[in-house]
Structure 1
């Protein structure tokens, strides 16, 4: 998909992606090094390295000493890129059309979230990828079904019966509220080019002192998706808000406030750049403003990641937008259902067997490590 995405952007826009010179599968690689893409080299440095706080080894969070003026200049450049990409229209959700590679493009996209659930949780949640998805709500329901499958099939997806009940009720409420976060203008298209991890870390700039964007790279998690997802700049801080617990992380209020501050800056520069591009047929700034006022921005962040915890910043903000009392009432209704007890009983058995298997595996490892040569 990355080959298709790079070629499409290179041919249809002025976005500075590298030109693909050659590509192939592992079987076609004479060096036997796996699948490959040969593309032009872009001279410069990673914007992520310029911006990130070097004191946070496990996070790309932008360091606090960078001025709002500098961030506005960076956002304005990225806004131009996004506005160009937003003009590319597609008639259905799925993988990017295979104009170059000629490989079969499944109707269900290969997303970072689906891959993460499979790689980390050991659960294949892609189901039948040949069933077309033609509307935003249907796609959101499909995404939530992936969370359900991970929760049900990953044996250690809960810590115990109480956690099982809480996660079942929380996911049930989330699914029940999806219809209230659908933008009717874009519900059935046109659909847009989405890259799950496209953000500031994908940008190449001239240098540490010159943050002019000269390249956009690493677009492997690209597909055709609902326009609503395009209007969710989760990348404003470089790091996802899903990483912070609103309940347990002391710095989460500052992180959330800083995100909202940057969101205001980006919304303004996006609108300013849009006015300079009279050829824009569809206003991304309007969709971004709707995403904020409707609360859909928080839903999009939750849906885009697997293994969500319900006290993350996006989940907490979503719950506040719906209303805490309403959310708790709906959770109670689902908690009192007959289905939840069967689910809890199943998860307790799964967890017990998982812990037994894990202990057995650890004992085998200990024996091997002490056996010696």
Structure 2
């Protein structure tokens, strides 16, 4: 996995987005199809309209902050458009809306080292279960399920891999035992980094990797910052609230005293929306209907 991660990270690009073929070359030419967006469209009855290119929503992105801000907007869009079971009560609704607004704020103000690139290839679904290995020689035969590969912020590559737990992030159980989760994850991380460093030394020795293309040191340092959790929260709608409140809120906004204190950090427009969103959710809950974004035939095709 270490050698594969190094190979995927080698190409460099000047914009964020999906690759399209132009003649014999591949260029960044359209909005990325991510694992999260695909899951929302196919499983959560979310219309793809909000994730396609428009005059106000670019097809590609020129900075990491621009892209992270777009992902933060996706979380707010889903909360507004999910008609049923989006919140259990008014307090839950307010807390979810505030979390998404504050995450959008930190995404906009996130001063990343590689804000304007160069950017690197990243695959949302790169994991051990998608690597085919010859059981006799232990050599990699193929990597599959690369449809969610796109050019992403460099930080996505430089943070530690989510797949070290051999579980999807949605299955992580850090709420029950926060410290136990981190301890287990870090033990896996140390093993992976040892292997990754060995791969780096071998590739540098045979001339297939530059010193500047090393990943191990950058990944190791990412666990000491908020970057790992910012990237996970940005990419996974289903676990956004757990990640934000457990790992990001106090780090960015100080000791938590009450949700009303956090509400004071919203701007005037956000506070107005905060007063409206619960009423909208209650009206939607009473209707108990679904927006018909897809026909029956379309749903079968999905």
TM range (shorter): 0.7 to 0.9
Judge which range, 315-324 or 82-91, deviates more: 315-324
- Pairing of 1:117-266 with structure 2 (within 5 A): 117-124=40-47, 125-128=50-53, 130-156=58-84, 157-179=86-108, 181-184=110-113, 186-207=114-135, 211-232=138-159, 233-247=161-175, 249=176, 253-266=179-192
| TM-score with structure 1 setting the length | 0.65
User: Tell me, what secondary structure is at the counterpart of 1:302?
Assistant: helix
C-alpha deviation, 1:344, in angstroms? 1.5
Q: 229-238 or 328-337: which moved more?
A: 328-337
Provide the rounded CA distance (Å) in 1 between the counterparts of 2:182 and 2:102: 23
| Count of equivalent residues | 274
Partner of 2:271: 337
Q: CA separation of 1:349/1:112 partners in 2, compared to 1, >3 Å: closer, same or farther?
A: same
- Alpha-carbon distance in 1 for matches of 2:33, 2:253: 33
Alpha-carbon RMSD across the aligned residues, in angstroms, is 3.0
The 8 Å contact of residues 20 and 29 in structure 2, kept in 1 or not, is answered as no
Structure 2, unmatched stretches of 5+, are 291-302
Q: Is the 8 A contact 2:13 2:120 kept in 1?
A: yes
SS of equivalent to 2:46: coil
Q: In 2 relative to 1, CA 108–190 (structure 1 residues): closer, same or farther, beyond 3 Å?
A: same
Question: Can you list the C-alpha shifts for 1:172-197, whole angstroms capped at 9, x where unaligned?
Answer: 1212222564431x211111111111
Is the 1:302–1:315 Cα contact (8 Å) retained in structure 2?
no
Identify the residue that residue 286 of structure 2 maps to in structure 1: 352
CA distance in 2, matches of 1:235, 1:266: 11
1:75 aligns with: none
Structure 2 equivalent of residue 296 of structure 1: 227
Check the 8 A contact 2:133/2:139 in 1, yes or no: yes
Structure 1: distance between partners of 2:156 and 2:195: 19
Which one has more relative contact order, counting CA pairs under 8 Å at least 6 apart?
Answer: 2
1:254-293 equivalences under 5 Å are 254-278=180-204, 279-280=209-210, 281-293=212-224
The normalised TM-score by structure 2 is 0.79
The answer for unaligned runs of 5 or more in structure 1 is: 1-77, 359-373
1:99 CA displacement? 4.4
Is the Cα–Cα contact under 8 Å of residues 202 and 218 in structure 1 kept in the other structure? Answer: yes
